[in-house]
């Protein structure tokens, strides 16, 4: 007998072309552990409904245990004519249990099954991704602690703006990643709704207990609307947003690394184990990890927009279009779990040229704001202070000198407010230390920030 789950009303088998199109087991087999777990929860519900005897339940649970082991070791594989993971699991249970294996689909449809499996799978993956993000955060925090007191140029518009602590610069990435982890945790609260019991779309005439099944599978609640339960893919789209946003953050870190590794910047030296060479140019050492990360982020965004396009205008409840919800999500999970350890290793093993960063920190008249703010402290209106400091920059540019090289007479000629004491703010270290309010780049504040970040990422 064919392993099809729906042969009864059909006079013949499916055309080869249909079977090939319809088949999903080559990708949805990764849901098998969850389909097995779900079948156990459902068997317990059937037992309480009096639809399985205690002895039957015992046999079913034994068979599920051995099946779970065989799935884990790879001893069990889908067969060529298994349509999907649900078909394959039922075929295995029939082989192990005989006709008893045919009782376990009672009250279930692949529509509530697949939605349940997929939620279980994604909730597990969200934890794996968060753990991989934590490794990257640790690597960034280690470097940030090392460089809390290292001055570097800070940019806006990719132009020198104001000096910053390089640890502050690195820590900004840890904050973005912390929000990504928060988002995955918030997502998980919403994803913790069990669709099991919704059946095809209307619930079941059998005395099932969706809330017991939900609790059994670690969900926080059962769905209140069976139609919504089988057709909702918000949890998938939202997961894909979380992963796309994370990808964008990783891409921006990657982009910074590409800049820093360039000869022009020369701020970072990559460890040989985390860089690649060229097949023609013997001297090359390329930041391929950073570039691949940047490239992958486009793919993660595409996976999100692709699913949204699939969902738009879809009639209710289940439609087979929804089978298209899985491969892109599996891809996003796989890509992130590839990228995150590589990035963490690259960051952990990087060495930074702090002398070079420090030398560059005051360039581009990056202390001009400090001159203006010194004038404000002397009672000058900021509007005027901005003009006066700007005139200093103009004079320096004209003469090819830097702000500290303006003589007392030069300063006095620009404005009577510019007494020689203004030189007290013309140091990079002073500029960093002065920005000492919460969120500022003063090394002492940065160290406190890093302690809080460390505590936050530890408890995540």
Which of 66, 262, 278, 407 is the catalytic position?
278
CB of 257 to ligand ARG, least distance (A): 38
Phi, psi of 338 (to 5 degrees): -85, -45
Binding flag, residue 110, ligand ARG (CB under 6 A): yes
Residue 24 in contact with ligand ARG, rule: CB under 6 A: yes
Stretch that binds ligand ARG, among 107-115, 143-151, 249-257, 404-412 (CB under 6 A): 107-115
Task: Please identify, using beta-carbon distances, which residue of 13 and 341 lies nearer to ligand ARG.
Answer: 13
One of 114, 144, 246, 290 touching ligand ARG (CB under 6 A): 114
205 is catalytic: no
- Binding residues for ligand ARG restricted to 287-326, rule: CB under 6 A: 318, 320, 322-323
Which residues have C-beta within 8 Å of that of residue 304, sequence separation ≥ 6?
Answer: 237, 240, 241, 243, 244
Q: Among 14, 57, 67, 84, which residue sits at the site for ligand ARG (rule: CB under 6 A)?
A: 84
Contact set for ligand ARG, span 25-44 (CB under 6 A): 28
Peptide bond into 317 cis (omega under 30): yes
Cis, bond preceding 215 (omega within 30 deg of 0): no
Nearer to ligand ARG, 38 or 350 (CB): 38
Q: Which helix (H) or strand (E) holds 381?
A: none
As a whole number of angstroms, the distance between CA 350 and CA 269 comes to: 6
Q: Among residues 235 and 318, whose Cβ is nearest to ligand ARG? A: 318
CB 24 to ligand ARG: min, Å: 4
Contact segment (CB under 6 A) with ligand ARG among 34-42, 110-118, 172-180, 252-260 equals: 110-118
Specify the residue, 83 or 256, whose C-beta has the smaller distance to ligand ARG: 83
Nearest to 432 by CA among 69, 90, 163: 163
Question: Per-residue DSSP letters for 74-91?
Answer: T-S---TT--SHHHHHHH
253-292 residues in contact with ligand ARG (CB under 6 A) are none
| CA–CA distance, 90 with 102 (Å, rounded to integer) | 8
CB of 111 to ligand ARG, least distance (A): 5
- 3-class secondary structure, 431: helix
CB of 121 or CB of 318, closer to ligand ARG:
318
| Stretch touching ligand ARG by CB under 6 A, among 108-116, 339-347, 419-427, 451-459 | 108-116
Q: Report the distance separating Cα 296 and Cα 298, nearest Å.
A: 5
Residue 87 binding ligand ARG, by CB under 6 A: no
Query: Phi and psi at residue 318, in whole multiples of 5°?
Result: -75, 135
Helices (H) and strands (E) in the chain, counts: 18, 6
Residue 278 catalytic?
A: yes
Confirm if 285 and 275 have CB atoms less than 8 A apart.
Answer: yes
DSSP state of 435: -
Strand ranges in 319-438 using DSSP code E only, listed in sequence order: 351-352
Closer CB to ligand ARG, 91 or 168, in the complex: 91
Question: Cβ-count burial of 25 within 10 angstroms (0-12 exposed, 13-18 middle, 19+ buried)?
Answer: buried
By beta-carbon proximity to ligand ARG, the closer residue of 76 and 329 is 329
d(CA 59, CA 98): 11
Least separation in angstroms between CB 139 and ligand ARG: 37
What residues are annotated to the active site?
A: 157, 278
Interface residues toward ligand ARG, by CB under 6 A:
24, 28, 84, 110-111, 114, 318, 320, 322-323
């Amino acid at each position: 007998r064919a392993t099809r789950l729906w042969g009864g009303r059909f006079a013949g088998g499916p055309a080869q072309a249909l079977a090939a199109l319809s088949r999903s087991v080559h990708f949805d087999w990764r849901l098998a552990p969850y389909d097995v777990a779900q079948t156990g929860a459902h068997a317990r519900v059937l037992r309480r409904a009096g639809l399985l005897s205690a002895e039957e339940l015992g046999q079913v649970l034994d068979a599920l245990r051995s099946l779970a082991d065989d799935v884990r070791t790879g001893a069990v594989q889908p067969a060529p004519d298994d349509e999907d993971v649900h078909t394959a699991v039922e075929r295995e249970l029939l082989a192990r249990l005989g006709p008893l294996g045919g009782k376990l689909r009672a009250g279930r449809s692949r529509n509530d099954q697949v939605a349940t499996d997929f939620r279980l799978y994604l909730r597990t993956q969200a934890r794996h991704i968060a753990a991989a993000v934590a490794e990257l955060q640790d690597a960034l925090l280690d470097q940030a602690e090392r460089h809390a007191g290292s001055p570097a140029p800070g940019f806006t518009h990719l132009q020198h703006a104001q000096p910053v602590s390089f640890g502050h610069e690195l820590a900004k990435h840890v904050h973005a990643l912390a929000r990504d982890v928060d988002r995955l945790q918030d997502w998980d609260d919403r994803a913790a709704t069990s669709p099991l019991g919704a059946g095809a779309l209307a619930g079941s005439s059998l005395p099932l207990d969706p809330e017991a099944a939900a609790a059994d599978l670690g969900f926080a609640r059962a769905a209140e609307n069976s139609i919504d339960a089988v057709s909702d893919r918000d949890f998938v789209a939202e997961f894909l947003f979380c992963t796309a946003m994370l990808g964008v953050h990783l891409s921006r870190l990657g982009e910074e690394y590409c800049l820093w590794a360039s000869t022009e910047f020369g701020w970072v030296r990559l460890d040989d184990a985390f860089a690649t060479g060229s097949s023609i140019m013997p001297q090359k050492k390329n930041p391929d990890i950073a570039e691949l990360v940047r490239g992958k982020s486009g793919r993660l965004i595409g996976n999100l927009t692709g699913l949204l396009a699939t969902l738009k205008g879809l009639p209710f409840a289940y439609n087979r279009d929804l089978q298209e919800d899985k491969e892109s999500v599996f891809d996003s999970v796989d890509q992130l779990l590839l990228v995150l350890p590589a990035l963490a290793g690259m960051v952990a093993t990087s060495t930074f040229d702090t002398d070079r960063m420090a030398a560059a920190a005051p360039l581009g008249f990056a202390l001009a704001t400090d001159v203006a703010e010194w004038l404000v402290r002397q009672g000058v209106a900021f509007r005027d202070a901005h003009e006066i400091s700007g005139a200093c920059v103009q004079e320096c540019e004209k003469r090819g000198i830097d702000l500290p090289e303006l003589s007392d007479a030069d300063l006095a000629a620009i404005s009577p407010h510019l007494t020689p004491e203004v030189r007290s703010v013309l140091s990079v270290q002073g500029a960093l230390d002065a920005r000492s309010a919460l969120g500022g780049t003063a090394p002492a504040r940065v160290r406190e920030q890093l302690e809080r970040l460390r505590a936050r990422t530890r408890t995540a």
